[in-house]
Structure 1
């Protein structure tokens, strides 16, 4: 599904749309998002392909990606544990407590992230297709794949 957005600089989370854990995480983020501006796109969406074309280091990456200022000159991407910490900072509130994880060196955080990612389908299951968002949040999803 395609959505036009009036705030092109609002952040976007790229996620594995077939992953049950990832979909549950997106639902938790939607419930916790006070601003209601974080947008979402599956890793196999047109939006993600456009982001990858601007950031070749993302090619073949199977990870959460937080895109700040998408499509702007100052666009920045954060992957793996850094993406999760960016989400926590964005959400604020008690989520900020998790920012203490910045004290852990990034290679260690990312190693832990990769270990969990390797078993995420066994933990949360796998969908054949990306679940369709409810009508009240559908406009926040940029998936077109």
Structure 2
């Protein structure tokens, strides 16, 4: 069973990807308790955070293909990160827990398929998302 950490959970995402930015906006809208913090892969804050936790070499294979979740000192990637995020959001998003019945290899294959085509399907920005002043505290 996944137990939430007392520390804020951190979502690392591709800051130039429109799909990823949309996902971040979705999480912000459905996280009124502000349990999540965010950092774009491209930011020094994200790279520093990964170095501090000794995770930088481990995640190079996923960068920037995957949204990552750093929660309770553990790093989750691909579909597992999304399922954990949905669980933490609670409410109706917990229905996504049905995704756990699928083998991880199947879930991640679908995740990687979308990730490979995300720029073509959803576009990309020239630079990372700049949060509004009201949301700035939630970004590293």
Asked whether the two chains share a fold, i.e. TM above 0.5, the reply is yes
Number of matched pairs: 130
Q: How does 1:1-145 map to 2 (within 5 A)?
A: 9-53=7-51, 54-55=54-55, 56-61=57-62, 62=64, 63-69=66-72, 75-142=73-140
Instruction: Report the alpha carbon displacement of residue 60 of structure 1 after superposing the two structures with TM.
Output: 4.1
- The root-mean-square deviation of aligned C-alpha atoms, in Å, is 1.4
Which stretch of the first structure deviates more once superposed, 93-102 or 47-56? 47-56
Normalised TM-score (structure 2): 0.87
Instruction: Report the alpha carbon displacement of residue 126 of structure 1 after superposing the two structures with TM.
Output: 0.4
Q: Secondary structure at the match of 2:76?
A: strand
Closer, same or farther: CA 46–60 of 1 in aligned 2, 3 Å? farther
* Residue ranges of structure 2 left out of the alignment (5+ in a row): 1-5
| Moved beyond 6 Å, runs of 4+ | none
